[in-house]
Amino acid sequence: MENVSKPSEAYGKNYLPAYSLSEILIVLCIIGILIYLVVPNQTSVVTSAKSIEAQNMLSMVHGLEKSHFYRYSKYTADFNELGFEQALTIDKGGQAVYRIEITSATLNSFSATATSLQDFDGDGNYNTWQIDQDRLLKEIVKD
């Protein structure tokens, strides 16, 4: 039998097996690449989460418009008549990301939009939602 020394004997009794620096760097590079691939996909999650604000506000406007219609037999473009107060938007020091507007109001129909004040993914498009008297809620401009 050959006299083969064990690694622990070669380096002393306090030797512990460990990963080399190059192995650790390779693992960190792989993790970095995976994070790089995943982060851009998160913008759609952020957009859909923030668009819930627009959908809720437009649903509220729809309910107020319907109530106004049942009372006065017409729709209105005046937020004061509806009793709707727009939350303070981010450009005015508030937290609301969407600006709500009633784009048209006639005797038998109305249309309201919610336009984002932020470009969530940096492509130059601002997310816009629209609702009408039939409660048809649709995304006009995707971000």
CB 120 within 8 A of CB 43: yes
How far apart (Å, rounded) are the C-alpha atoms in residues 81 and 71?
Answer: 11
pLDDT of residue 4: 54
76: which residues sit within 8 A by CB, 6+ positions away? Answer: 65, 68, 82, 102, 105, 110
Segments of the chain scoring below 50 in pLDDT: none
The answer to whether the beta carbons of residues 133 and 65 sit under 8 Å apart is yes
- Tell me, what's the pLDDT at 6? 57
- 73 neighbors 133 (Cβ within 8 angstroms): no
Distance CA 100, CA 36 (A): 35
- pLDDT computed for residue 79 by the predictor: 94
Rounded distance between C-alpha atoms, residue 100 and residue 130, angstroms: 10
Can you give the pLDDT at residue 8? 52
pLDDT at 38: 77
Q: pTM for the complete prediction?
A: 0.69
